[in-house]
Structure 1
Amino acid sequence: MGILNQAVQLAIMVGTIRTLSWPSANESRNANPPEKAVHRQIGSDFDYLMLTRIFPTAVCRADDDSVPDSCEIPTDTPEWSIHGLWPNFKNGSYPQFCDGSPRKFDSDLIKSIEGRLLRMWPNLYPAKTAHSFWKHEWEKHGTCSQNHKNLSSELLYFRTTMAIDTEYSVGSALERAGIIPRSEPYHLEDIRDGLMKELSHGMHVQLNCLTDKKTRQILLGDVRMCIDKSFQPIDCPRSNAFQPATYFTGHSAPLPSFKECPPLVTYLLETSTEPSHMLGLGHREFAYWINPLIPFYTGFFSQQKLKHELLWGITVPFMAVAIFIYVEGGRGG
């Protein structure tokens, strides 16, 4: 009887723990309705995953480059980079900051893939390290995906996310759909239709936008594709709660925040109208101001009959500075 009583007590304790740890479906739907975020005690009974890719050029154009530590795109960053892989529930809520193993981010666990992460999943803000971005994504989202065998560790979470990103490339899909960078806006539905055809196998994708701080253009900012637990595309819920890019919006103002897109949006890469971080000049503005100066400059020194060596000694640094400004004018953000 003593053993039986202990067994009953143990069963009651287990039931109590399960009740505390796993809210009912109704409780889950009603939890934190404004944010649609659910803090889970255990690592994840999610229904599907949302793979979010950001457009670094748009992020930096939406940033205010007059403030310190403004957005910068690291060398070798792809046209579209990873923001995160986020577990979601069908009812519109999503788990976050789950208990995991490990619960806290450990950079040593991803040393073997850090080079690829720096390129495919970069941090765009110099004031914060790449590790801080990955830490946020792992602790908020990765810990809630650990019930999936291919996402069951920190290393697997990041490695698998990069593999899915490679298989479903946003940049390649847009190119195949004929959606190319240009100054004229696109109809949002044309972009969505192209992505649904070339990226998500006909499944609905979510698109979000940013506002260019200088031109006030509405820019395509991120693409969110939903996948099931076998990593196959599924429809993203059209009424799904909007998840802002909290890592970016968590910075101090006036850094950019994502929003739902209007009917017309611009897909603009680093083009001739891109503003310069140095002087606020684009390529066209640069040419407008510099071209008239070149004949005057060379003519002035020729009239002065300066030595050939002196002329070149002054001309070469001048042109080097000019080329630097030109290149910076094409980079922007």
Structure 2
Amino acid sequence: MVAKVWFMLKLLMFQGLFTSPPPDPGFDFFYLALQWPGAYCDTKRACCYPTTGKPAADFGIHGLWPNYNNGSYPSNCDPSNEFDPSEISDLVSTLQTKWPTLSCPSNEGYKFWEHEWEKHGTCSESVMDQHGYFEKTLALRDRINLLQILTDAGIKPNDEFYKLKHIKKAIKRATGVIPVVNCNKDPEKNSQLHEILFCVDKSATEFIDCPMPTDRCPYSRIQFAKF
């Protein structure tokens, strides 16, 4: 009996020595970028709704972007792995709702998704394939009802101005993490709430505190534009 136990322990030790560790994905974390359509359209003054119609007045996905802790990021990592629409055929209707395009001319969204996969998604191939990239991004977005979080805190898309610290405090209270907030400017030079970036671990499953939580909002009070 003792010999058998010793044999099993040696076997486990041997297997442990030769078990390959999970491959390093080559980056440190992801940004999940959620975009407010009102700010995009107000700034561009030339946004085009998708062929499926005007998107809902809600935060849509911009992308899931691998990043390094030093602030830089990899891009276009595998030109041979081109976007294949057939890989995401079962996700298209959901993508059109939650990951819509506002670029002109109006289109179905495939060009937008192609850009996001080839620039950013190919840099996460060690973590997920093309279908997994879009599926995981949608799942992450569903875990954060960002518009509800803000409106519950009295921060509404009504063209009013709000303090940046109140926006971040509301999100921290609801999610447990502090995001990065990016602003743009409308033609009247108002600083607008444009994007909110959440940091996600390398496996694209858990939200984490951002290594470099630097906001791109130069003003303490920013406008939450109507859409």
The two structures have a TM-score, normalised by structure 1, of 0.56
Within the alignment, does 1:60 sit opposite 2:37 as a pair? Answer: no
How far did 1:183 drift? 3.5
Structure 1: gaps (5+ residues): 1-41, 65-69, 243-258, 271-333
1:271-323 Cα offsets, whole Å, 9 max, x none, are xxxxxxxxxxxxxxxxxxxxxxxxxxxxxxxxxxxxxxxxxxxxxxxxxxxxx
- 1:143 aligns to what? 122
Amino acid paired to 2:182: N
Whose helix fraction is larger, Structure 1's or Structure 2's? 1
Within the alignment, does 1:223 sit opposite 2:196 as a pair? Answer: yes
Task: State the distance in 1 between where 2:34 and 2:89 align.
Answer: 23
Secondary structure class of the residue paired with 2:199: strand
Q: Which has the larger radius of gyration?
A: 1
1:78-103 Cα offsets, whole Å, 9 max, x none, are 51100000111122221111127x61
How far did 1:218 drift? 1.6
Higher relative contact order (CA 8 A, sep 6+): 2
Task: Report how many residues are paired.
Answer: 200
- 1:160 aligns to what? 136
Within the alignment, does 1:116 sit opposite 2:81 as a pair? Answer: no
Secondary structure class of the residue paired with 1:123: coil
How far did 1:238 drift? 3.3
Match of 1:193 among 143, 162, 169: 169
Within the alignment, does 1:263 sit opposite 2:191 as a pair? Answer: no
Task: State the distance in 2 between where 1:166 and 1:156 align.
Answer: 15
* Matched-pair identity in %: 31
How far did 1:76 drift? 3.9
- 1:234 aligns to what? 208
Do the aligned residues in 2 keep the contact of 1:105 with 1:135 (CA within 8 Å)? Answer: yes
1:143-196 Cα offsets, whole Å, 9 max, x none, are 111211xxx211111111011101112112212333223333111111111111
Task: State the distance in 1 between where 2:186 and 2:71 align.
Answer: 30
Within the alignment, does 1:44 sit opposite 2:18 as a pair? Answer: no
Secondary structure class of the residue paired with 1:165: helix
Secondary structure class of the residue paired with 1:135: helix
RMSD: 2.3
Distance 1:167 1:268, change over 3 A: same
Secondary structure class of the residue paired with 1:231: coil
Structure 2: gaps (5+ residues): 1-22
- 1:179 aligns to what? 155
Task: State the distance in 2 between where 1:211 and 1:227 align.
Answer: 27
The two structures have a TM-score, normalised by structure 2, of 0.80
